[in-house]
């Protein structure tokens, strides 16, 4: 496949022609310099590294009706709230089918990987592993041990299966629990993540010590909090649609100004389709609605570049010959790639080069 247009990757936007062979970048040249081979498909568009959805709760996809309205704590945090009752009463098979449907949708829109917070302890992790098999989406599972005080055996078993732990929030857990879990993650080479400052502001000390690998939300963080997070070099996944549903908005402009390593996620699958493109467009519009605009370039990086840096594979966000990047082609004008990618992508414009 020969793409004439532009590249948007770790090195920013630029005009280019790109040859993609067997799903990988084979050649990159100045615009118009690569000759199409016989029967080679020619496309006009923008070549990007495939996006990563950096925060989901895919198990929630089992919910198919409009959820009741109410505060976020009642709906999705409380152990006897709507979400956990639904998870507890849905058959395992139904949950697996719902997760598979969500993954198929993500695959169609070009998503390469997802970082999921999985509830329901060791069993929950096992269920998600089963559901993702053969999906073509790399899934990082951050599970959650159930026993409090923490049961070391349960935690070890969970960490043997999961890629790490994703906790509900700093204020829902004692300092001792957070420390024990963070240390176990470190020892096992796994990730430690938690929701923070979602419904109410939490002081940065409570979520930066012990140091996590990833924070989710920070919707209530002050600019000083954001500076502390940037200084600690801890990555943050924001989920603006999810926050908006409960009347909140993360300060993306503040994050850009502070130099926060920001990533983007679609959060609870019961509320939002797991489409990173929708999340990008909403984020762009929402910051303007609030009068605190953020750049399209910063948003584009949050889906296409920062997650690969977080995974320790920054070169996977580079469109160049022999790079490990999985390229995606968007049939969009090449003039202003970040703006195009953030505001214009719909499913029919996505071309996923076959491997």
- Binding residues (CB under 5 A) for Zn ion: these are 267
**Least separation, in Å, of the C-beta of 122 and Zn ion?**
20
Residues 227, 225: Cα–Cα separation, whole Å: 5
Q: What is the largest CA-CA distance in the chain?
A: 66
Q: Which is nearer to Zn ion, 267 or 336 (CB)?
A: 267
Three-point CA angle 144, 94, 132, nearest 5° = 60
* Closest CA relative to residue 168, chosen from 158, 160, 178: 178
Nearest residue (beta carbon) to Zn ion: 267
Residues 172, 9: Cα–Cα separation, whole Å: 38
Q: Which is nearer to Zn ion, 218 or 330 (CB)?
A: 218
Sheet-wide strand order for 113-117: 262-264, 235-238, 214-217, 191-196, 164-167, 138-143, 113-117, 52-57, 267-268
Give the C-alpha distances (Å, rounded to integers) separating 278 from 55, 106, 322, 337, 345: 14, 12, 30, 17, 8
Q: Which is nearer to Zn ion, 4 or 267 (CB)?
A: 267
Residues contacting 123, CB < 8 A, separation 6+: none
**Least separation, in Å, of the C-beta of 342 and Zn ion?**
22
Q: Which is nearer to Zn ion, 18 or 167 (CB)?
A: 167
Give the C-alpha distances (Å, rounded to integers) separating 10 from 54, 191, 352: 17, 24, 19
Residue 190 CB burial class (10 angstroms; 0-12, 13-18, ≥19): buried
CA-based radius of gyration for the chain: 20
**Least separation, in Å, of the C-beta of 184 and Zn ion?**
21
Q: Which is nearer to Zn ion, 225 or 267 (CB)?
A: 267
Q: Which is nearer to Zn ion, 198 or 336 (CB)?
A: 198
**Least separation, in Å, of the C-beta of 73 and Zn ion?**
13
15 contacts 346 by C-beta, under 8 angstroms? no
Q: Which is nearer to Zn ion, 119 or 267 (CB)?
A: 267
Q: Which is nearer to Zn ion, 117 or 284 (CB)?
A: 117
**Least separation, in Å, of the C-beta of 216 and Zn ion?**
5
- Please tell me what DSSP assigns to residue 339: H
**Least separation, in Å, of the C-beta of 280 and Zn ion?**
18
Q: Which is nearer to Zn ion, 256 or 267 (CB)?
A: 267
**Least separation, in Å, of the C-beta of 90 and Zn ion?**
19
- Please tell me what DSSP assigns to residue 67: P
**Least separation, in Å, of the C-beta of 269 and Zn ion?**
10
Residues contacting 80, CB < 8 A, separation 6+: none
**Least separation, in Å, of the C-beta of 237 and Zn ion?**
9
């Amino acid at each position: 496949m020969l793409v004439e247009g532009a590249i948007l990757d770790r090195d920013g936007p630029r005009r280019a022609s790109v040859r993609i062979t067997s799903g990988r970048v084979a050649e990159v040249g100045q615009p118009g310099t690569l000759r199409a081979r016989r029967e080679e498909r020619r496309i006009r568009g923008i070549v990007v590294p495939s996006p990563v959805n950096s925060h989901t709760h895919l198990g929630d996809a089992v919910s198919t009706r409009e959820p009741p309205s109410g505060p976020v704590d009642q709906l999705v945090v409380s152990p006897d709230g709507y979400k956990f009752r639904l998870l507890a009463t849905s058959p395992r098979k139904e949950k697996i089918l719902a997760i598979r449907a969500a993954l198929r949708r993500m695959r169609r829109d070009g998503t390469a990987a997802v970082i999921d917070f999985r509830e329901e302890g060791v069993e929950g992790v096992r269920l998600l592993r089963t559901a993702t098999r053969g999906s073509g989406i790399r899934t990082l599972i951050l599970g959650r041990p159930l026993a409090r005080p923490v049961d070391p055996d349960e935690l070890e078993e969970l960490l043997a299966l999961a890629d790490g732990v994703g906790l509900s929030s700093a204020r829902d857990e004692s300092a001792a629990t957070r420390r024990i879990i963070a240390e176990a993650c470190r020892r096992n080479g796994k990730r430690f993540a938690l929701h923070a400052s979602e419904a109410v502001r939490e002081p940065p000390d409570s979520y930066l010590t012990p140091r996590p690998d990833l924070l989710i939300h920070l919707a209530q963080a002050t600019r000083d909090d954001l500076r502390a997070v940037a200084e600690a070099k801890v990555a943050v996944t924001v989920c603006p649609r999810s926050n908006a549903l409960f009347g909140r908005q993360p300060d993306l402009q503040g994050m850009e100004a502070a130099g926060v390593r920001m990533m983007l996620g679609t959060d609870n699958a019961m509320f939002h389709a797991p489409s990173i493109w929708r999340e990008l467009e909403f984020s762009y519009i929402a910051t303007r609605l609030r009068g605190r605009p953020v750049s399209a370039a910063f948003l584009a990086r949050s889906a296409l570049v920062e997650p690969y840096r977080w995974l320790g594979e920054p070169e996977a966000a580079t469109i160049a010959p022999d790079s490990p990047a999985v390229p995606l082609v968007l049939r969009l004008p090449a003039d202003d790639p970040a703006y195009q990618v953030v505001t214009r992508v719909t499913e029919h414009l996505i071309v996923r080069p076959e491997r």
